[in-house]
Amino acid sequence: MQRAGWMGSILGLATLSMAAHASTEAKRETFGNMPDGTHVEAVVLDNGHGMTARILALGASLQSLTVPDRNGKGANIVLGYGSLDGYLKKPQYFGATVGRYANRIAKGHFTLDGHAYTVPVNDGVNSLHGGTRGFDKELWTIGDIKHDADKASVTLSYVSPDGDMGYPGKLTATVTYTLDSGNRLSIDYGATTDKTTIVNLSNHAYWNLSGEGAGSVMDQRLTIAGDAYLPVDAGSIPTGEVRKVDGTPFDFRQGKPIGRDIRTNDTQLLNGRGYDHNWVISRTEAAAPRVVARVEDPASGRVMTLKSAQPGLQFYSGNFLDGTTVGTGGHVYRQGDAFALEPQLYPDTPNQPSFGSARLEPGHAYRNLIVYEFTTAPSHGTR
């Protein structure tokens, strides 16, 4: 009787050994054209160890990420469109940079230094991911493209003018994607402003560790390093309560399949048609990125470990994928076919002082460094 897991581990080690002296690469290419004829470029990063990432200038988006499984076979594990047309006709934040304020602001209103601001509502009566034209819909400028023996990277930037989507201050935002030889993808967000404002940037990749379009992620095992979460109202706005996960479907501290408790008759799960909540990782930003989540796919053996210094982590279980989207590989995306994990400040922080502050002042810098580390686990079965 052959031990599939043991053989898979040996094959995986052999693959890594053969690639030990491979070099990284970063190359620029055209992805498509905007309606006005403007070229939309992409940059492909290759770590020389079987991992490649394609980053689009539109929305500074992660369009694809190829990662080897336990047998060394690569597959794209993020949802997206195969052409620019899909991103323009039916944007769904696939792999996008979301901002100025990731997540929701209640009723599109907040007050800063005594001044009331209104931002567009695009999620019922609330504002989501920056409003009707957030950073995901803007064409970012591709800057430095670098590669050396250990890593390949690209930096993109976008300048949001004062008053853009109702937000105060000219915000200069940057993001650097880095793919290294240790099978880590880092997404490093930064921002500065010329006037006091609020900012909360994150990445909205939809993940399926079996491969995009491979079906449900409900059997993939998720661990979240948070002992509390933020309950929400029917509009997905936090109520202000910080609730312990003990004894609830929201307890992922020991790890469990995403779908184990998703059909529980819990009001919070009914409100969002599944998980779409922010976990409290800490009450303040950490000094450096630490492990906030881990996902293991039993089928492929892929393991993703997520690190961030942000206080909150939004977990979304793909509740509104409805079978009307055809993705990169020609497969239809249905409910529960992917999950999102977004390190960020808590939702609606500008309206809830107990959540901390989203404030950014001139002379100060905002940062959100997100690190995804990929490894493999052996199969536990035999054949």
Alpha-carbon Rg for the chain, nearest whole angstrom, is 20
Taken in order 275, 184, 201, 344, the sign of the CA dihedral is positive
Q: Are 201 and 97 in contact (CB under 8 A)?
A: yes
Q: What is the DSSP letter of 331?
A: P
Phi, psi at 137, each rounded to 5°: -105, 5
Q: Which residues are catalytic?
A: 204, 342
Helix (H, G, I), strand (E, B) or coil at 349: helix
Residue 75 has which token pair?
A: 């597959």
Residue 325 has which token pair?
A: 């989207």
Cα–Cα dist 238/349, whole Å? 9
Q: What is the largest distance, in Å, between two alpha-carbon atoms of the chain?
A: 72
- Among 377, 357, 369, 256, smallest CA distance to 315 is for 256
Residue 307 has which token pair?
A: 């690190």
- Amino acid identity at 312: G
Q: Are 359 and 112 in contact (CB under 8 A)?
A: yes
Q: What is the dihedral of CA 220, 223, 229, 235, to 10 degrees?
A: -20
- Amino acid identity at 221: R
